[in-house]
Amino acid sequence: MAARSKSSRSKSSQRWLKEHFSDPFVKKAQAEGLRSRAAFKLEELAERDRLLKPGMVVVDLGAAPGGWSQWVRQELDRLDPARPGRVIALDILEMPPLAGVEFLHGDFREDAVLSQLEASLGGKPVDLVLSDMAPNKSGVDAVDMPRAMYLAELAMDFADHHLRVGGTFLIKLFQGVGFDDYVRELRRRYDKVAIRKPAASRRRSPEVYALAQGKRAAIK
C-alpha cells in the first residue's frame, strides 16, 4: 500500500509539473518578468472593477512570492508617478525585495505580527485590502477548510478595523463548509459583494474571489 501511495503521489506531482509549465499564464508571467501567474488573476479583477486609484494605500496579505504586490506597484506607478501611494505586503514566507513594496515577514495569526503591520500604517486607513492567503493543504477537507476559513476571518477582521469607509476588500476563498456564512457576513459589511472566478484560476480549483466594495460605516 505504501509503495502504491508513493507512486500515486509521484504521478500526481509529474502531472502538476507538466500542467504548470504548459500553462499559458505561467509562460506569460515569465515573459513579462512577473513573479507569479497569480498576477493575472488580480489584473483581471482589478481592471474589470477599476480597483486601483492614484495614491492608494494597499495591504497585500499572503503576498509571497510577490505577484500581486509587484503588479499593484507597477500599476500605481503607471497611474500617477507623482502619487505612488503605498504597497505593504505580509507573508509567513520570505519574499525577495520588490522596489517600492514594504514587506513584513511573519505569521498573520500572531498578535505581534499584526501589531507590527498596524504600526507600519501609523494610524492611517487602508484603501484596499488584498488577501490571497491559504493554509498548507493536508488534502483532508475537514482539516483544510477550517484552516482556510480561519485565515479568511482574520483578514475580514483586519479590514473591519483598518479599511476606510468606502474601501474595498478582495479575498480568495475556497468553496465548502463556512463559505456561504462568510459571504453573508461580507454582505453585512459592504454595499456590493461579488464572487468571481478569473480566467487565470484553474478550473478544477475550488478557489474563488470575493470582491467586497463600499465598506459601510457600521455592520448591518
What distance in Å separates the CA atoms of residue 174 and residue 190, rounded to the nearest whole number? 20
* 147 contacts: CB under 8 Å, gap ≥ 6: 135
Catalytic position from the list 28, 137, 172, 215: 172
214 labelled binding-site residue = no
132 labelled binding-site residue = yes
The helix (run of H) or strand (run of E) holding residue 130 is strand 126-131
127 labelled binding-site residue = no
The angle, 0 to 180 degrees and rounded to 10, between the axes of the packed helices 67-79 and 38-49 is 40
- Told to judge if 197 belongs to the known catalytic residues of this protein, a careful annotator would answer no
68 labelled binding-site residue = yes
- The three grid cell numbers given for residue 61, joined into one nine-digit string: 496579505
91 labelled binding-site residue = yes
Decide the pairing of beta strands 163-174 and 101-105: unpaired
Catalytic positions: 172
Extract the annotated binding site. 66, 68, 91, 107, 132
Extract the annotated binding site for S-adenosyl-L-methionine. 66, 68, 91, 107, 132
